[in-house]
């Protein structure tokens, strides 16, 4: 595993006993909310591996819900997140699963609203570091660093148009990948960048031909 700094090993400033089970879980929940672009009304949380075995003892349940409420890892309200979610009208269902995952700290979140739904699979890999492995069955790798997700039609030139916009604004790409289910159908572009992204950049990307949706991820 590659670490970017000592804080990836020591872990972040946080509420809770475990950087993997608490801080990492909070970050997964927060990225899922960011992807959904609003607070969901209902969430079904499937827990796998060690998450399924220890989620109550290590506060993983509290942390995941706190992230969905947009709380950071050090927010004192994490301890009361379940009660806060209930008061806010967000229904939460926990489902410990027996299936053996590829990674022991794996969670699948299904987020629902009146007119939309989304499925997100994430893992906590230590020190509060996370990876998002799937979004609506698209296989990908998203770390939670500043990133742009571009949902688009799988057409010639779309990738070039997107990177040209980022080049225009002198935004450096740290990591990029493209996932698709079928040739010529919907695809998703994951672009991790070194700078914060202004709304002007997002709007220009959204106006590109064959681009359906653009989401900014900031952990």
Q: Give 46-102 pLDDT, tens digit per residue.
A: 999 999 988 888 789 999 999 999 998 888 899 999 999 999 999 999 999 998 888
Give the gyration radius of the chain's Cα atoms. Answer: 17
- Correct CATH for 7-142 of 3.40.50.300, 3.60.9.10, 3.30.1330.90, 3.30.420.10: 3.30.1330.90
C-beta neighbour count of 100 within 10 angstroms: 9
Per-residue pLDDT of the chain (219 residues; tens, 9 = 90+): 444 444 444 455 555 545 566 889 999 999 999 999 999 999 999 999 999 988 888 789 999 999 999 998 888 899 999 999 999 999 999 999 998 888 889 999 999 999 999 999 999 987 778 999 999 989 888 876 789 999 999 999 999 999 999 999 999 999 899 998 889 999 999 999 988 889 999 999 999 999 999 999 875
Environment class of residue 22 by beta-carbon count within 10 Å: exposed (0-12), middle (13-18) or buried (19+)?
buried
Judge contact between 191 and 173, C-beta under 8 A. Answer: yes
Please name which of 156, 212, 147 lies closest in space to residue 186, comparing C-alpha atoms: 212
Give me the pLDDT at residue 12, please: 52
Ranges of H-type helices in 157-198: 158-168
Q: How far is CA 28 from CA 54, 115, 129, in A?
A: 17, 23, 9
What span, in angstroms and rounded, lies between the C-alpha atoms of 168 and 42? 40
Superfamily of domain 147-217: ACT domain (3.30.70.260)
* Cβ burial 39-64 (10 Å sphere, 16+ → b, else e): bbeebbbbbbbbbbebbeebbbbbbb
Q: What backbone phi and psi angles, to 5 degrees, belong to 49?
A: 60, -135
Judge contact between 60 and 47, C-beta under 8 A. Answer: yes
> Residues of CATH 3.30.1330.90 domain(s) within the chain?
7-142
> Residues of CATH 3.30.70.260 domain(s) within the chain?
147-217
pTM comes to 0.82
């Amino acid at each position: 595993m590659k670490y970017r700094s000592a804080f990836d090993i020591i872990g972040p400033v946080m509420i809770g006993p475990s950087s993997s089970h608490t801080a990492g879980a909070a970050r997964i929940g927060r990225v899922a909310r960011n992807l959904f672009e609003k607070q969901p009304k209902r969430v079904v949380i499937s827990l796998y591996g060690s998450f399924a075995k220890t989620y109550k003892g290590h506060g993983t349940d509290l942390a995941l819900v706190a992230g969905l409420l947009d709380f950071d890892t050090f927010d004192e309200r994490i301890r009361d997140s379940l009660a806060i979610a209930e008061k806010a009208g967000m229904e939460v269902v926990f489902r410990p699963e027996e299936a053996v995952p590829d990674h022991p700290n794996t969670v699948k979140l299904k987020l629902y609203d009146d007119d939309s739904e989304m499925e997100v699979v994430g893992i906590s890999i230590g020190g509060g570091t996370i990876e998002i492995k799937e979004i609506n069955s698209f296989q990908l790798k998203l770390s939670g660093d500043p990133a742009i997700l571009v949902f688009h039609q799988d057409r010639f030139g779309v990738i070039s148009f997107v990177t040209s916009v980022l080049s225009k604004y002198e935004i450096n790409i740290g990591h990029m990948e493209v996932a698709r289910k079928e040739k010529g159908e919907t695809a998703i572009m994951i672009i991790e960048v070194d700078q914060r992204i202004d709304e002007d950049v997002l709007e220009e990307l959204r106006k590109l031909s064959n681009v359906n949706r653009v989401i900014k991820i900031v952990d």
